[in-house]
């Protein structure tokens, strides 16, 4: 089910250089240098507390690096305003955190922050792409966990990001919903050549979904390579 | 009974304070029997309370002999102390003390100044200090409630706030809902005081005016004036402090600094 299927290119979309973060002299992320190519699905794998999610939060500047930096399309990301950066580097978290109200209002949240109105047809198109056709008028309180995560994905895609960060997007879902969301993400990456970084503690999921895998331990990058090279056959 | 034993007003006052404290201690001992331990906190509070209020009374005795403008310094000192005390309710929010002091100064200071200018509050130190301190103290409580509520709302909704930030929302917009609910919650006591005025309680100022021989009707109306002033100053303080503190919950790079388990 790997997302790649020839979609990735050698063009580097995101580059981290000696990226690190310390909080009160505790190392959270240490000296990570990594290239992420256009259209690839890069898995960030490691045990609990290895700094996977912390690393991801540095990439859209939800947290501030204490060393190193990130380049987006060749530009130091501090050149962009935080809002512009976060529009270009989208994020889907473990819990969907949908805002109170309707599905359509959630999907159009990002564009609305920039004063843009997302047309109804575009909302319907995005919901169709995440497997929720006809859900625009629904209230978020009536959705299942899997449906909520799909809305969260559509909401992130509405910003037309160049890079999508996925922080354990299926870990709060049951097996059936998990399989559905996995397939959906792989199809999206393949069809749109979206560049994705996905944090997962599930090595099998990384093997199923990712083109390349980076292993983190104690905040450090230990190894990168194809799933077969890093995780074994 | 006490009046026949103590002929000096000061010694009578201390005797009355002693009896009130004994009553409070009796309740604390009763609570202790039910395993509710308030002894040390209550003892410290009682001692602190009598020392502080006697100090204020002594200062007032001195001030009464001085020019009227000296009350401005005393009220300013009260505002600074109020800012410092209520800022403790906003633990881990950088700049909370400055925000609290400015908000109380603007809310309580403006209302006191306008009402003094309009002649509602007499410029005599004996009026300006007690009424001004009531306005400041209530603004302090409201500010503390607003900041405390805002802090707990942000901490418990960090996920929603960061999700909105990650989608490109402006920091102040991500906490607007929590700021509104903080303002609302902080003003409940002031609104309830006004609503229950005369029905549930007869406030201290009115009691004092009655004791000093004022007309009951005037004392009642003036009490309404004071409670309405408290609502105005508390409302303004809460509005300003919540508006200012929401910017302090974020770093210049629009990152939420007020998060569980994250030192600020």
With bands split at pLDDT 50, 70 and 90, how would you rate the model's confidence at A61? very high
Q: Does residue B202 surpass a pLDDT of 70?
A: no
Among the partner residues B167, B253, B262, nearest to A159 by beta-carbon distance: B167
Residue A1: inside a domain = no
Q: What share of chain B is helix, strand, coil (3-state, %, to 5)?
A: 75, 0, 20
What is the mean predicted confidence (pLDDT) over B133-160? 93
The answer to whether B160 faces chain A, any CB pair under 8 Å, is yes
What is the mean predicted confidence (pLDDT) over A43-55? 93
In this structure, of A35-44, A130-139, B39-48, the range with the lowest mean pLDDT score is: B39-48
**How many structural domains are present in chain A?**
1
What is the mean predicted confidence (pLDDT) over B55-59? 83
Q: Does residue A5 surpass a pLDDT of 80?
A: no
Residue A6: inside a domain = no
Comparison of pLDDT for A228 and B36, the residue scoring more = A228
Residue A5: inside a domain = no
B255 CB neighbours in chain A (<8 A) are 61-64, 82
What is the mean predicted confidence (pLDDT) over B42-56? 88
Give the pLDDT of residue B37.
82
Q: Which residues of A touch B (CB under 8 A)?
A: 23-24, 60-64, 82-84, 86-87, 90-91, 93, 95, 97, 99, 109-110, 113-114, 155-156, 159
Looking at the complex, report in whole angstroms how far the Cα of residue B176 sits from the nearest Cα belonging to chain A.
Answer: 13
Q: Across the A/B interface, how many CB contacts are shorter than 8 Å?
A: 59
Residue range A189-228, pLDDT digits in tens: 888 889 999 999 889 999 999 999 999 999 999 999 999 9
Residue A65: inside a domain = yes
**Mutation site for A-interface testing, chosen from B156, B159, B164, B167 by largest number of A Cβ within 10 Å:** B167
Among the partner residues B159, B165, B173, nearest to A86 by beta-carbon distance: B165
The answer to whether B180 faces chain A, any CB pair under 8 Å, is no
Give the pLDDT of residue A233.
63
What is the mean predicted confidence (pLDDT) over B4-23? 86
Q: What percent of chain B clears pLDDT 70, i.e. is strictly above it?
A: 96
Q: Does residue A3 surpass a pLDDT of 60?
A: no
Give the pLDDT of residue A1.
54
Q: Does residue A46 surpass a pLDDT of 50?
A: yes
Residue A219: inside a domain = yes
- Chain B, 104-143: which have a CB under 8 Å from a chain A CB? none
CB–CB contact B168 A91 (8 Å): no
Which residue of chain A comes nearest to B173, CA vs CA? A113
Alpha helix (H) residue ranges in chain A: 52-59, 82-88, 103-107, 109-113, 120-129, 145-157, 175-192, 203-209, 227-231
B170 CB neighbours in chain A (<8 A) are 83, 113
Residue A212: inside a domain = yes
CB–CB contact B167 A110 (8 Å): yes
Which residue of chain B comes nearest to A25, CA vs CA? B263
Give the pLDDT of residue A8.
61
Residue A143: inside a domain = yes
Sheet holding A212-217, edge to edge: A75-76, A67-72, A12-23, A26-37, A220-225, A212-217, A41-45, A195-200, A163-167, A89-92
Q: Are strands A12-23 and A67-72 parallel, antiparallel or unpaired?
A: antiparallel
Comparison of pLDDT for A104 and B122, the residue scoring more = A104
Among the partner residues A64, A83, A93, nearest to B163 by beta-carbon distance: A93
In this structure, of A37-41, A98-102, A118-122, B27-31, the range with the lowest mean pLDDT score is: B27-31
Q: Are B99 and B245 in contact (CB under 8 A)?
A: yes
Comparison of pLDDT for B232 and B58, the residue scoring more = B232
CB–CB contact B164 A114 (8 Å): no
Residue range A141-196, pLDDT digits in tens: 989 989 999 999 999 999 999 999 999 988 877 888 888 888 888 888 888 889 99
CATH of the domain at A50: 3.40.50.300
What is the mean predicted confidence (pLDDT) over A61-86? 96
Q: What percent of chain A clears pLDDT 90, i.e. is strictly above it?
A: 76
What is the mean predicted confidence (pLDDT) over B180-191? 92
CB–CB contact A99 B162 (8 Å): no
Looking at the complex, report in whole angstroms how far the Cα of residue A86 sits from the nearest Cα belonging to chain B.
Answer: 5
With bands split at pLDDT 50, 70 and 90, how would you rate the model's confidence at B140? very high
Q: Does residue B197 surpass a pLDDT of 90?
A: no
Which residue of chain A comes nearest to B171, CA vs CA? A83
Question: ipTM of the predicted structure?
Answer: 0.92
Tell me how far apart the alpha carbons of residues A198 and A40 are, in angstroms, rounded to a whole number: 11
Residue A2: inside a domain = no
B160 CB neighbours in chain A (<8 A) are 97, 99
Tell me how far apart the alpha carbons of residues A156 and A150 are, in angstroms, rounded to a whole number: 10
Average pLDDT of every residue of chain A: 91
Comparison of pLDDT for B21 and A7, the residue scoring more = B21
Looking at the complex, report in whole angstroms how far the Cα of residue A118 sits from the nearest Cα belonging to chain B.
Answer: 14
With bands split at pLDDT 50, 70 and 90, how would you rate the model's confidence at B151? very high
- Counting DSSP H helices and E strands in chain A, the numbers are 9, 10
Host domain of residue A191:
12-226
- Pair of tokens at residue B186: 């902080």
With bands split at pLDDT 50, 70 and 90, how would you rate the model's confidence at B201? low
């Amino acid at each position: 089910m790997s997302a790649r299927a020839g979609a990735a290119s050698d063009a580097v979309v995101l580059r981290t250089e000696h990226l690190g973060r310390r909080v009160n002299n505790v190392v959270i992320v240490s000296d990570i240098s990594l290239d992420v190519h256009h259209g690839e699905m890069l898995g960030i794998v490691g045990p609990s507390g290895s700094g996977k999610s912390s690393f991801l939060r540095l990439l859209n500047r939800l947290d501030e690096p204490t060393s190193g930096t990130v380049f987006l399309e060749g530009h130091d990301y501090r050149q962009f305003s935080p809002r512009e950066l976060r529009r270009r580097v989208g994020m889907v978290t473990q819990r969907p955190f949908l805002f109170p109200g309707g599905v359509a209002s959630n999907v159009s949240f990002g564009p609305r922050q920039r004063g843009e109105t997302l047309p109804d047809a575009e909302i319907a198109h995005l919901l169709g792409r995440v497997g929720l056709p006809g859900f625009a008028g629904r209230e978020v309180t009536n959705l299942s966990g899997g449906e909520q995560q799909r809305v969260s994905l559509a909401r992130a895609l509405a910003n037309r990001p160049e890079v999508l960060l996925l922080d354990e997007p299926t870990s709060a879902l049951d097996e059936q919903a998990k399989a559905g969301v996995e397939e959906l993400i792989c199809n999206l990456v393949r069809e749109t050549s979206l560049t994705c970084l996905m944090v997962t503690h599930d090595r099998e999921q990384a093997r199923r979904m990712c083109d390349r895998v980076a292993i983190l331990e104690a905040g450090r990058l230990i190894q990168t390579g194809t799933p077969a090279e890093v995780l074994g056959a | 009974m006490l009046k026949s034993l103590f002929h000096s007003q000061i010694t009578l006052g201390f005797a009355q304070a002693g009896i009130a404290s004994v009553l409070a201690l009796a309740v604390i001992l009763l609570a202790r029997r039910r395993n509710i331990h308030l002894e040390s906190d209550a003892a410290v509070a009682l001692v602190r309370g009598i020392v502080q209020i006697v100090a204020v009374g002594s200062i007032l005795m001195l001030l009464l002999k001085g020019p009227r403008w000296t009350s401005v310094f005393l009220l300013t000192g009260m505002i600074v102390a109020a800012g410092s005390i209520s800022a403790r309710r906003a633990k881990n929010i950088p700049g909370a003390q400055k925000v609290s002091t400015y908000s109380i100064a603007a809310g309580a200071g403006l209302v006191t100044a306008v009402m003094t200018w309009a002649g509602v509050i007499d410029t005599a130190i004996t009026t300006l200090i007690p009424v001004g301190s009531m306005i400041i103290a209530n603004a302090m409580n409201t500010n503390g409630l607003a900041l405390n509520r805002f802090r707990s709302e942000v901490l418990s909704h960090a996920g929603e706030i960061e999700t909105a930030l990650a989608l490109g929302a402006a920091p102040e917009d991500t906490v607007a809902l929590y700021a509104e609910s903080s303002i609302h919650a902080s003003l409940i006591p002031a609104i309830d005081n006004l609503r229950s005025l005369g029905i549930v309680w007869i406030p201290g100022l009115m009691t004092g005016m009655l004791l000093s021989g004022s007309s009951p009707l005037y004392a009642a109306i003036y009490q309404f004036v004071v409670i309405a002033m408290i609502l105005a100053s508390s409302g303004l303080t809460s509005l300003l402090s919540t508006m200012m503190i929401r910017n302090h919950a974020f770093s210049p790079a629009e990152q939420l600094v007020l998060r569980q388990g994250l030192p600020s």
